[in-house]
Structure formats: C-alpha cells, structure tokens
Amino acid sequence: MKRISIVIFILCTCFVPAAWGQKITCPARFNWTEFHTIDMARRNPCETVLNINNVGSLRLKWSVRVSADYSSPAVANGVVYVGSDDHNVYALNARTGAKLWSYTTGSGVYSSPAVANGVVYVGSYDNNMYALNAKTGALLWSYPTGYLVWPSPAVANGVVYVGSYDNNVYALNAKTGALLWSYPTSGNVFSSPAVANGVVYVGSLDGNVYALNASTGVLLWSYPTGSEEVDSSPAVVNGVVYVGAADGNVYALNASTGAKLWSYPTGGNVFPSPAVANGVVYVGSFDGNVYALNASTGALLWSYPTGGQVWSSPAVANGVVYVGSDDANVYALNAKTGAKLWSYVLGSGVFPSPAVANGVVYVGAGYDAYAFGLK
C-alpha cells in the first residue's frame, strides 16, 4: 500500500550568504539538485540537523541494490535520483529507499542526474543525453552526442550544459533538447560544467580549463594546466575557479581572466572536484588524502589520510565534510580541524560523491545506494 504524505513547505526566517554575495532563503526541505548544487560549490548552507556534535551517531537508514557505481545522487522533493551500471536511471523514495520508477537507457549511466523544474537530466554511455519526467520517469526528449556521456549536466536559465567524450561541450534547450551551441575542445570532456555569472567553466582531457560564454559558446579564455587531463569539475566561488588536474595540483584561477592565482601540489591525480565553504577549499587526491586549503592563498590548513585513493568529491554541510574513499569507507570530517567524526564501511570503493540534505547523507558504492541518518 502506498503511503500518502502531506508536506507543508515553510521558509525559514534566516538567510545564508551565497558565494556571489546573494542571499539564499532556506526552505524547510533542502534539495541537492545536481552535482555542484546551490552555487557551484558542493555545499549545503541550509543543513541544520547534522552537525559536528551528532554526526558520529549516523546509522544506516536503508540501502537499495541499484548498481550505483559512479553516479552521484541528486535529491529533490523527497526523491533520490541516481544512475546505474545496469543501464537504468532510478527514482527512490528518499525516506524509505523504495523504487518509484526506473528508465532504461542503452548503456551504463555514470552521469549524475540534475533535477530542475520537474525534469531529470542525465547522460548515458549510449551517447545520449536524456530528459525524463521527474514524477513518472517518462521520456521527454533525448539528444544524441557523438560519443558517450559520462559527465553530469548543469542546468541554468533554461539551458542544459553537458560534456561528451566526442570532445564537445553542449548547450541544449532544457524544454525541447534542441541544440543551442556546441564548443569543441581538443580532448574528451569528462568534467561536469559549472555555470556562474553567464559563464560555463569546464575541464578537458586535453589538460585545459575552459571558460565559455553561456549564451553563445564563444571562448572567453582557456588555461593550460601542466597536466595531460583535467577530470575534475570546477567549483566557482567569489570570482575564483577552483579545479584539480592529473598533474597532482589544485588550481585557483581568476574567473574573469583565467589567470592563475595559486596552485597547491598534492601527491597524486586530483580527480575529484573541490567543494568550497567558508573560505576553505576541500578536495581529495589519488594520494589517499583529503585536503583543506585556504581559498585565498592555497595554504594548507589540514589533510586527512584515508586508506585508499580518493575519487569521491567532498560535500560540505554545517561544519562537516563528507567524502568517500577507495578504501570502501565514507567519512565525515570536522571541516575546521580535519578530525574524523564518523566513518562507515560499504561493500566496495566509494567513487560517487555524497549528497547531504535534510539530515540524511546519500551515497552510492558498488551495487548499492545508501542513506544514513540519525535515529
């Protein structure tokens, strides 16, 4: 029997400063709608349930076998959306994990869904970009790129931005899927775009970070890292682009000009994407460490050694950094000190990135999607 719940949305009276000096009104139910979320910084500024004092009491609420190997979850309106190696996109009840619907594509779905205006946007290894009805999973449109779509889309102002292994960045009409523009890089685009102030920022496996006009696709600037590839997806905060590269460095670039402001060397490929909160950049590395860097100077504040390579991108909420590791653990770290507050061993290496919403941590690993919350 299906349980029917009535949810009343009430806006809280407090306002949280956003990255660009705007004000964010925190709803009663926070939505982690896409990979970057809220302001291209992988943070939840509205979390009030979980904190450094109680996160150690997190326990498993549910797990569901959906082969969520690489797709990071999106959470919107009480539903968790995630892609699967079994070729499906799944919608799960955020409270119970019950499967609401699934949509089958022609290959594995490693792209992380983005949810906007009642539509789920996600790419597939079958070379297509899909738009699905968020309530029913019905296909609204699909767009064929020239090769597989691993990156996660970003949705802004009625446009879906996504990269493809055919070396292109695409801008598609969010309602119809019509191509608005495409920009060719010199390498596969594994990086998920970030959109801020009318500019699309994205990395490429040619080793460059690109800034494109969001309306026209015209190149504004490109920055060549010292790397053969930039897998990391940029975070954009206060006029600065933060991104990792395979040369082991974390870069801070001027968002308007592309000029390098600073770089910090880690001991391995910086495959994950940075999260930025309260003047600190949090990022993992294949050297097994999670780093906290001063966002203005790049100075090391702390590092935490996990037991394996860190593919997962951190999520930051209410003073806690959540991140997965190839050692099969998902961690909660004190954002100020790096001290471990909690960890949980999953069935395999944790490659997807966590989403934190309404007192629950959602993450995929191996064959399962997991939800952790307080008792």
Spacing of C-alpha 310 from chain mean position: 15
Choose among 312, 245, 270: nearest CA to 68.
Answer: 312
Q: Which residues pair with 183 in a beta bridge?
A: 169
**CA R_g for the chain:** 19
Three-state secondary structure call for residue 182: strand
Choose among 148, 220, 166, 163: nearest CA to 194.
Answer: 163
C-alpha span between 368 and 356 (Å, rounded): 17
Query: Global pTM?
Result: 0.93
pLDDT at 23: 61
The answer to whether 370 touches 364, Cβ cutoff 8 Å, is yes
pLDDT in tens for each of the 375 residues of the chain? 333 333 333 333 333 444 434 467 888 788 999 998 877 899 999 999 999 999 999 999 999 999 988 999 999 999 999 999 999 999 999 999 999 999 999 999 999 999 999 999 999 999 999 999 999 999 999 999 999 999 999 999 999 999 999 999 999 999 999 999 999 999 999 999 999 999 999 999 999 999 999 999 999 999 999 898 999 999 999 999 999 999 999 999 999 999 999 999 999 999 999 999 999 999 999 999 999 999 999 999 999 999 999 999 999 999 999 999 999 999 999 999 999 999 999 989 999 999 999 999 999 998 899 999 998
User: Beta strands 128-133 and 139-144: pairing type?
Assistant: antiparallel
Three-state secondary structure call for residue 126: coil
- Domains of the chain, by residue range, sit at 31-51+59-304+356-373
- The two tokens of residue 113 are 């869904």
Tokens 């494109």 correspond to what residue?
A: 212
Q: Which amino acid is at 33?
A: T
C-alpha span between 208 and 43 (Å, rounded): 25
Q: Which amino acid is at 71?
A: S
C-alpha span between 94 and 8 (Å, rounded): 17
Q: Which amino acid is at 122?
A: V
| Three-state SS annotation for 205-274 | CCCEEEEEECCCCCEEEEEECCCCCCCCCCEEECCEEEEECCCCEEEEEECCCCCEEEEEECCCCCCCCC
Q: Any idea which fold 31-51+59-304+356-373 has?
A: Methylamine Dehydrogenase; Chain H (2.130.10)
pLDDT at 72: 95
